[in-house]
Amino acid sequence: MRAEILRLGEKVILQEDCAEDRLKNGILTLTTQRLLFEKTEGKVATFWKEEGELLLDIDLNKISKVESQGFVIAKVAIYVAEHVYKFGVFNPGRWAKLIKKQIENINHPDTS
């Protein structure tokens, strides 16, 4: 995550190299304010990977629902307006829990 992407006072909570069903490979980042997905491109033979453009920049208060889906191929599903984004992360349950916690912190900052 490039530091210039973060807002003043924003902190990274969780970050993982993963894939989204339609957006393909990238880095999913949960911050104290947003969920970000930055495209990556790489070469398997040399393990070289380069950060690309920021494909998703979602304020946490715009997320209507978060859930862990699947069993063998588990994903964290993020619902934003009419869009559903499904990310193949290592531990979808942990991602869902932490996203919900950050949303709660934004909605009720005095209870955290």
What is the per-residue DSSP string for 15-63? EEEEEETTTEEEEEEEESSEEEEEEEEEEGGGTEEEEEEEEEEEEGGGE
Would you state the pLDDT for residue 109? 77
Task: Kindly report the pTM of this predicted structure.
Answer: 0.88
CA angle 9, 64, 51 (to 5 degrees): 50
Residue 72 or residue 19, greater confidence: 19
Q: How confident is the model at residue 73 (pLDDT cuts 50, 70, 90)?
A: confident
pLDDT at position 48, please?
Answer: 53
**Confidence (pLDDT) at 100:** 97
Instruction: Inform me whether the pLDDT recorded for 18 exceeds 70.
Output: yes
d(CA 54, CA 80) in angstroms, rounded, equals 17
DSSP structure class, residue 7: P
How big is the chain by its Cα radius of gyration, in Å? Answer: 14
Q: Check residue 89 and give its pLDDT.
A: 96
Phi, psi of 57 (to 5 degrees): -140, 90
Residue 78 binned pLDDT confidence (cut-offs 50, 70, 90): very high
When divided into structural domains, the chain yields a total of 1
Range from 32-36, 48-52, 54-58 carrying the lowest mean pLDDT: 48-52
Domain containing 8 — which CATH number? 2.30.29.30
Structure tokens at 8: 């003043």
Confidence band, pLDDT 50/70/90 cuts, at residue 47 = low
Domain span at residue 29? 3-111
To the nearest whole percent, how much of the chain has pLDDT over 90?
72
